[in-house]
Amino acid sequence: MPKHKEYTVTLISSGLIVGALHYGLFVIIVNLKDWNFFIEVVETFSNYGQIPGYICKCDGIQSELCKSLTAAVNSIYKEIF
């Protein structure tokens, strides 16, 4: 049976809904191993129009703008641990 971890997620800032993205821009905090990871969803553009971008910050380290939330968190997680 798979183990599912529960993480504390706190909404810090919410934005207005962006029609092309189908949701608003926002910032959350996720606590992983007693470290607070700030995850920001931003609006960016591609050849296909507006798309979401993801930036993760923790302990003064900031990821590059990533195409996926997982990539943003993983890049910072690997640096810390």
pLDDT (tens digit per residue) in 21-74 = 777 778 999 999 999 999 999 989 889 888 889 999 999 999 999 999 999 999
* Global pTM exceeds 0.85: no
Which among 46, 63, 45 has a CA at the least distance from the CA of 54? 63
Band of pLDDT at residue 1, cut at 50, 70 and 90? low
Q: When comparing pLDDT for 9 and 55, which is higher?
A: 55
Number of other CB atoms surrounding residue 45 within 10 Å: 10
